[in-house]
Amino acid sequence: PITPGELLCLGSSLAFSGLFYYLYRRKARVVARIQEAPKLQVDDNLPALVSAAEGRCLPYVALEGIVLPAQAALTSHYQEGLQGVIQKLLLKEHRLIWNSLARSW
């Protein structure tokens, strides 16, 4: 005889397994798209290519070229001779909505 507690544990285990498998498959598709991304060179043709693309956006491309740091390049503490730069991001909020529950914008 199977108790209701065992059925509950089995059901929740199957539900979590299904959820995690779904998330895994979704992320695997994203990784596959990134690995299939076309490789473009940073040169004078890149702005024309971006402006000709649909929505003026190129989804999942790998840019190859030389970048110059704004200040000093970052050096790795773990790999000798490995350097990198940080891309500056700009976040622009288009509209503010008052949240009366949290009393904040």
Model confidence over 11-48: pLDDT tens digits? 999 999 999 999 999 999 989 988 888 888 888 888 89
- Give the tokens for residue 97: 């909505």
H-state helical runs in the chain: 4-35, 46-52
pLDDT at 56 exceeding the cut of 90: no
User: What does the alpha-carbon distance between residue 105 and residue 102 come to, in Å, rounded to a whole number?
Assistant: 9
- Residue 40: count of CB within 10 angstroms of its CB: 16
**Kind of pairing between the strands at 74-75 and 62-64:** unpaired
Shortest CA distance to 61 belongs to which of 37, 83, 78? 37
**pLDDT category, 94, cuts 50, 70, 90?**
low
pTM beyond 0.75: no
**pLDDT, greater one: 90 or 87:** 87
Q: What percent of the chain has pLDDT over 70?
A: 92
